[in-house]
Structure 1
Amino acid sequence: MSRELIYNAFLHLTPNHHSHGYWRTAEGDVQRGYSKLQPYVDVVTTLERGRIDNLFIADVVGVYDLEFGDGDATIRAGSQFPEPDPVSIVSALGLVTEHLGIAVTSNIIQNHPFSFARQLSSLDHFTDGRVGWNIVTSYLKNGFRNFGYEDIVGHDARYEWAQEYIDVAYKLWEHSWEDGAVLHDAATNRFFDPEKIHTIDHVGERYRVQGPHIVEPSPQRTPVLFQAGNSPAGREFAVRNAEVTFLPSATPDAARRDIAVLDALARERGRDPRSLKKIVTLSTVIGATEDEAKRKQAHLHEHIDYAALRAFLSGGSGIDLSSIDPSTTLRELQERSEFGEHVRSSFRAAVDGHGEDVTFADYLRDNAFLPGRFAGTPDQIADEVERWAAAGVDGFNVVPVTTLGWWDEWVDQVVPVLQSRGLAQREYAPGTLRQKLFRNGDALDPTHHAHGVRIGETAATR
């Protein structure tokens, strides 16, 4: 291949990320170690041995089905519950790795932008420039109520909120400290040059932040920015802010269409489309033979807790899925006016992958939201990677069957085949995470929105 593919390793600090109930099996029992540090240290050392680009740590700040009852199904099954804080583990994982990027999920409701910008700058220093941020606006009503809000904010309004939040962060990361502000000059008794360090004086609808940023510029200044946005508002946010975006595409043909839409929108907004990497989910069951892989996939599906899966989908969609007639087609679901745009966009993506006449019951039985969607040998998995790469995707968010333990299979069995075909790197490039991913320096691309944000600018003057 003429370009290198990105491989994100999906991780969730929780007993069951998407394999609801699989912890009850001998293979899934490893997830009982979710609250200990050493298992995650083992994961990242394995990932670095496999030359994986980035660890992607997911997170939620609420219970999925609390809106439709008492949360029993989620809590009983340990489905993305409990949720240790992912920021708390970054320094430890950075210490035991040298090259692996570490992207942490944090949403706009759980931390003030001044405090969060300080955290990420600190972690970028402590990891020598290997930190990323997955920007999320939160879709759980319980999450909003945990932070004092009466209810969830509307879909598009959450993106407006997120834009102000990240603009505050840009002002702190990119504009509060000029280049050359760090002196460490004993002869002139100046550790820093105060004339090159500025308050940001942000006044907006939700935030008033004076500044200055109280951490000196880190190796990347701004962490590498990840985001998944499938709705019109989400795509607008992606082309303005994201450097790596997750496509909803269920097929390579759908990926081609989704990439074309994003590239066209980026050009319209003055953004270089090459500065926005587009990646898709890849989740596999690995076998020495195809029959073995299929048997392992069947074993996984036989042990899924479907009550927990339904609770997970209900919380994520904001809809009590027990109210949906199982015979309803995906075509009807994507057009239901009572569903929010977030939900309708998910069903539109499902139509691409399954067909509009597939029923909701079949959709669940086919495990549309479960890991291990593709079962095959390492060579067959490499074939699948080539199909997606030919469609123009820049890489993959690799979702394991279990967060812990599974990665040895991927690194030992699949990575060598990918490397032999030129589909995965054999060695890390030098430098920060941004330099490794883009091969174009440590700074944000010149066409990125952050460069146009100005300190002292208020909402009224924009």
Structure 2
Amino acid sequence: MPARREVRLNAFQMASPGHTWAGLWRHPRDTTAAYNTLDYWTALARTAERGLFDGVFLADVIGQYDVYGGNADAALARAAQAPSLDPFLVVPTMAAATRHLGFGVTANLTYEHPYTFARRITTLDHLTGGRVGWNIVTGYLESGARGMGLSEARAHDVRYEAGEDFLEAAYKLWEGSWEDGAVQRDRAGGVFTDPGKVHSIHHDGPYYRVDGRHLGEPSPQRTPVLYQAGTSSRGKLFAARHAEAIFLNGHTPALAGKAVRSIREAARAAGRDPYDIRMFLGATVIVAPTRAEALDLRDEYARYVDAEGQFALVSGWTGIDLAGLKPDEPLAYQETNAMRSLVENLTQPGERPFTLADFAEFGPRGARAPFIVGSPSEVADALLAWAEQADVDGFNLTRAVAPETIEAFVDLVVPELQSRGVYKTRYAEGVLREKLFPGTGPLLKDSHPGAAFRVGRPPHALRAAS
């Protein structure tokens, strides 16, 4: 493990009135009911940039949570990630209000095609000046599959096989279609693009086919920064090969650290430097000038957490209908087609079993991740302890009551971290990849599998290395 690293932060958001804590939209000071307005997103972006956050991480899901009770009534009534907006469309709004802030935007490759998706990412990378990352997800909700006209969602491991195929096609488009210097913008000669430097790519995979030139000229990063959140056995292998940043959870440092170690080991086995992957741990932070005030805030927020909404979320995430669970009955392991790593974490041998009461708790058990309450110095102590024990680079800070929880963090915790020399005092110049990995360039590192598809490099069969 390297020496203590600079702590990195993302604001963990969703374009929905409810995210990971159902019911908090009802709090009288919460503004997330205005999630469908420009002002909500520009205000968030300016606050995150004032706090020198690396980015706003935008979660998303295709479908609605209809596992709990066999229908989506609870999710809809309690705003459990419903309704929602397309996260891609709020990024330009935030980018126009900021200069350095990055954006990790979630897109489900199961319901995309590489040819058109590559252009959407390239467009965002141009419009933001190279500040875009893609959170790669493969989808797990049966309701989303039905909405897309399919009879069922892809099986868990098949989703990752399809992901490998999708990424190979996307890398070919981003890295191998347009040469450097293809775009000339030659007014006098009347030539905008040299056709000889734009190449058709040919991809005939088991899930996706592409035969054509990339629709967009190369953007500042070409390939966006690649985020991933899969920590199941198959998900770890996928993340270790492709991800530059990983979002994970874990309600104890031991659980989170175990996941981090396994990913880093898999990255090393794949020929990558294990520390070429930034690890972000989800965390809920309630901070105030004194511990007593922070505890009062926690208790105040807890009164608005909606238990039924929480059950709808956890049922959807795990694929297990909590409506069939008795109040004190422990959650038992079941193999589902949803988030297997979450089911494993919630049913780990040796841990106190999770019950319905835990899922409704506004606290560490309900968070399934660090839940930190205290004064600025206490919060900083806790964050640094988690970072060291779990070997993570930073945190995805979960939305509680907006905007006051992120404003309090920026005003109180950021100065405390800066005073300890573990948090930046200004942004580095460059694109998002250069900010996350100082001293590197704007493009994928040569050791990344996507770099093998650059124009002029030998052909590379990505699947052959898997």
Distance 1:316 1:19 in 2: 13
The aligned counterpart of 1:5 is 7
Give the C-alpha shift of residue 308 in structure 1: 1.2
Give the C-alpha shift of residue 450 in structure 1: 0.8
The aligned counterpart of 1:360 is 355
2:371 is aligned with what amino acid?
R
Indicate the larger mover: 359-368 or 132-141: 359-368
2:359 is aligned with what amino acid?
L
Matched, 1:450 2:450: yes
The aligned counterpart of 1:314 is 315
Distance 2:464 2:321 in 1: 43
Matched, 1:124 2:125: yes
Distance 1:356 1:329 in 2: 11
Distance 1:341 1:69 in 2: 16
- Please show how residues 148-297 of structure 1 align to structure 2 within 5 Å: 148-186=149-187, 189-297=190-298
Give the C-alpha shift of residue 454 in structure 1: 8.0
Matched, 1:406 2:405: yes
Q: CA offsets, 1:241-286, max 9 Å, x none?
A: 1100123333233333332222221111111112111121121111
Give the C-alpha shift of residue 2 in structure 1: 4.9
Number of equivalent positions: 455
The aligned counterpart of 2:416 is 417
The aligned counterpart of 1:379 is 377
CA contact (8 A) 1:56 1:104 kept: yes
Distance 1:461 1:210 in 2: 21
Give the C-alpha shift of residue 87 in structure 1: 0.6
Distance 1:374 1:4 in 2: 19
Q: CA offsets, 1:1-47, max 9 Å, x none?
A: 7532221111111111122112222133x222111110110110111
Unpaired segments ≥5 residues, structure 2? none
Counterpart secondary structure, 2:280: strand
Indicate the larger mover: 362-371 or 289-298: 362-371
Q: 1:366 to 1:347 in 2, by over 3 A?
A: farther
Distance 1:435 1:459 in 2: 25
Counterpart secondary structure, 1:210: strand
Distance 1:285 1:380 in 2: 11
Give the alignment partner of residue 345 of structure 1, picking from 337, 341, 352: 341
Unpaired segments ≥5 residues, structure 1? none
Distance 1:457 1:207 in 2: 17
**What TM-score comes out, normalization by structure 2 length?**
0.91
CA contact (8 A) 1:15 1:34 kept: yes
Distance 1:236 1:261 in 2: 9
Distance 2:240 2:463 in 1: 23
CA contact (8 A) 1:10 1:403 kept: no
Counterpart secondary structure, 2:133: strand
The aligned counterpart of 1:145 is 146
CA contact (8 A) 2:106 2:134 kept: yes
CA contact (8 A) 2:69 2:323 kept: no
Q: CA offsets, 1:310-359, max 9 Å, x none?
A: 111112222211123444435xx23x3xx22754421332456x952334
1:192 is aligned with what amino acid?
T
Indicate the larger mover: 383-392 or 450-459: 450-459
CA contact (8 A) 1:61 1:83 kept: no
Counterpart secondary structure, 1:60: coil
CA contact (8 A) 1:248 1:349 kept: no
Q: CA offsets, 1:137-156, max 9 Å, x none?
A: 11211111111111111110
CA contact (8 A) 1:372 1:401 kept: no
CA contact (8 A) 2:284 2:398 kept: yes
Q: CA offsets, 1:39-97, max 9 Å, x none?
A: 11011011111111111111112111267434111111112111111111111211111
1:364 is aligned with what amino acid?
F
1:388 is aligned with what amino acid?
W
Q: 1:59 to 1:346 in 2, by over 3 A?
A: same
Distance 1:343 1:259 in 2: 17
Give the percent of matched residue pairs that are identical in Structure 1 and Structure 2.
39
Q: CA offsets, 1:181-211, max 9 Å, x none?
A: 2223456554222222111111112222112
2:345 is aligned with what amino acid?
A
The aligned counterpart of 2:22 is 20
Counterpart secondary structure, 1:217: coil
1:38 is aligned with what amino acid?
D
The aligned counterpart of 1:37 is 38
Q: 1:372 to 1:461 in 2, by over 3 A?
A: closer
CA contact (8 A) 1:203 1:457 kept: no
Matched, 1:60 2:61: yes
2:353 is aligned with what amino acid?
V
Distance 2:196 2:68 in 1: 52
Distance 1:433 1:268 in 2: 26
CA contact (8 A) 2:306 2:360 kept: no
Q: 1:120 to 1:359 in 2, by over 3 A?
A: closer
Distance 1:366 1:21 in 2: 12
CA contact (8 A) 1:12 1:59 kept: yes
The aligned counterpart of 1:304 is 305
1:132 is aligned with what amino acid?
G
The aligned counterpart of 2:396 is 397
